[in-house]
């Protein structure tokens, strides 16, 4: 079967067409973004912001880019540098504050996952985006893998789903905020896999039961392992298990996937091995930019065309709700957590937490969280389903 593709647009008409952007957060991942932007055909680095000015200057120097403005204020650096957008690569706890600074300065934002530590923080950002009219897109970079698109094509031909299984087993040492988090697997890593589930199936989470724990040898302070079972809107089940401290039989960072459906089954090892066990179903592997390059390309093309990107802030909230639902269930000894109830409780929390009168007022005006998420997304021509269909 054929998979929908977007054309690679590696060569914009003029060098001046590259979108001038400021990167906020010059840590490990910020460095990846800065190195990628140095050679991107879509965007050009004009400024870097970090609380640690020496770090920002060192990273800028390492890519040999002249004329990049460095500072610790988003609005000030953006103005001096003539930026037209912000890429937010700070730690999750700082995402909302930085996104607010940028959107209030009239700058659209491409924000690293997770959108925030909680669904309440995510809902405050939906209201903020609505209020400012700016584009806020979450960079869920693991959606942009060509073999995932191929796997998705195969899965869509298998008919109604019975079950999707994903396993993620790794042993990663990344000192910093991850090793101090209460839930380093679910918040920092599984958010990718949960978001991929929504992209892969077009299905949405209804409820979850989860158990998380920290193996005795773990070098993480919080729970580095979890198992979870999600009920999906179609009635199918998503069964997930993972660990960040298991040094054997490592899976791909993208996890290892099996899908069982009415017309057969399909599997993807998370890298380049897609298998289909069904008569007459094939797949094409597209040739698109992958990872953060793919995410940046979608951000820039959406901004310019006025189309709605897959992970516009409203659409991303359910990926985060899967994470928080799993954590709540684990905290309550595996109790079934209903996603719709979690969203409404999160709206009440968002209203209680919000300090800005205009954002709080907008949150209070929503009849429900579902009502807030149904407000029109940025962009006049949506090119995806709410769950992030193919572009």
Ligand X SMILES: NC(=O)c1ccc[n+]([C@@H]2O[C@H](COP(=O)([O-])OP(=O)(O)OC[C@H]3O[C@@H](n4cnc5c(N)ncnc54)[C@H](O)[C@@H]3O)[C@@H](O)[C@H]2O)c1
- Residues 195, 101: Cα–Cα separation, whole Å: 26
List the x/- string, 126-165, binding to ligand X by CB under 6 A.
---------------x------------------------
Q: Name the CA radius of gyration of the chain, rounded.
A: 20
Residues between 337 and 376 that touch ligand X (CB under 6 A): none
In sign, the C-alpha dihedral spanning 12, 14, 20, 25 is positive
- Residues 220, 201: Cα–Cα separation, whole Å: 32
Is 62 a binding residue for ligand X by CB under 6 A? The answer is no
Helices marked H in the chain: 28-37, 53-62, 74-81, 92-104, 119-132, 146-156, 191-201, 291-305, 313-331, 339-353, 357-365, 369-373
Q: Which stretch binds ligand X (CB under 6 A): 26-34, 227-235, 270-278, 324-332?
A: 26-34
Q: Which is nearer to ligand X, 195 or 229 (CB)?
A: 195
Minimum CB separation of residue 198 from ligand X in Å reads 16
Is 23 a binding residue for ligand X by CB under 6 A? The answer is no
- Residues 104, 96: Cα–Cα separation, whole Å: 12
Minimum CB separation of residue 295 from ligand X in Å reads 8
Report the candidate in 45, 34, 100, 41 with the shortest Cα–Cα distance to residue 77.
Answer: 45
Residue from 89, 107, 158, 359 in contact with ligand X (CB under 6 A) = 89
List the x/- string, 182-221, binding to ligand X by CB under 6 A.
------x---------------------------------
List the x/- string, 31-60, binding to ligand X by CB under 6 A.
------------------xxxx--x-----
- Residues 71, 37: Cα–Cα separation, whole Å: 18
**Distance, C-alpha 33 to centroid of its chain:** 15
User: Which residues bind to ligand X, rule: CB under 6 A?
Assistant: 24-30, 49-52, 55, 89-92, 94, 97-98, 112-113, 141, 176-177, 188
């Amino acid at each position: 079967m054929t998979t929908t593709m977007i054309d690679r647009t590696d060569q914009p008409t003029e060098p001046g067409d590259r979108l001038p952007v400021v990167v906020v957060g010059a840590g490990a991942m910020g460095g990846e973004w800065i190195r990628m932007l140095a050679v991107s055909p879509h965007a050009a680095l004009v400024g870097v912001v970090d609380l640690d000015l020496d770090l920002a200057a060192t990273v800028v120097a390492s890519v040999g880019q002249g004329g990049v403005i460095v500072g610790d204020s988003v609005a000030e650096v953006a103005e001096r540098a003539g930026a037209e957008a912000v890429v937010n690569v700070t730690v999750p706890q700082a995402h909302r504050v930085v996104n607010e600074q940028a959107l209030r300065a009239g700058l659209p934002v491409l924000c690293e996952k997770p959108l925030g530590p909680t669904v309440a923080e995510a809902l405050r950002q939906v209201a903020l985006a609505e209020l400012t009219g700016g584009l806020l897109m979450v960079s869920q970079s693991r959606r942009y893998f060509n073999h995932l698109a191929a796997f998705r094509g195969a899965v869509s031909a298998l008919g109604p789903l019975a079950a999707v299984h994903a396993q993620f087993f790794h042993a990663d040492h990344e000192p910093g905020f991850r090793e101090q988090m209460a839930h380093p697997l679910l918040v920092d890593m599984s958010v990718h896999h949960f978001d991929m589930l929504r992209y892969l199936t077009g299905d949405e989470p209804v409820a979850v039961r989860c158990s998380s724990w920290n193996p005795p040898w773990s070098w993480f302070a919080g729970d580095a392992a979890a198992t979870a079972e999600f009920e999906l809107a179609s009635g199918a089940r998503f069964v997930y298990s993972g660990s960040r401290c298991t040094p054997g039989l490592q899976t791909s960072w993208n996890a290892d996937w099996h899908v069982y459906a009415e017309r057969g089954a399909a599997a993807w090892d998370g890298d380049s091995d897609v298998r289909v066990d069904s008569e007459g179903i094939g797949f094409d592997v597209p040739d698109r930019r992958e990872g953060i390059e793919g995410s940046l390309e979608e951000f820039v093309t959406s901004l310019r065309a006025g189309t709605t990107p897959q992970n516009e802030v409203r659409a991303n909230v359910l990926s985060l709700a899967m994470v928080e639902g799993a954590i709540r269930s684990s905290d309550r000894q595996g109790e079934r957590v209903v996603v719709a109830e979690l969203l409404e409780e999160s709206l009440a929390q968002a209203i209680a937490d919000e300090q800005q009168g205009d954002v709080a007022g907008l949150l209070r005006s929503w009849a429900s969280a579902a009502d807030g998420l149904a407000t029109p997304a940025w962009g006049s021509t949506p090119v995806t389903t709410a769950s992030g269909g193919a572009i």
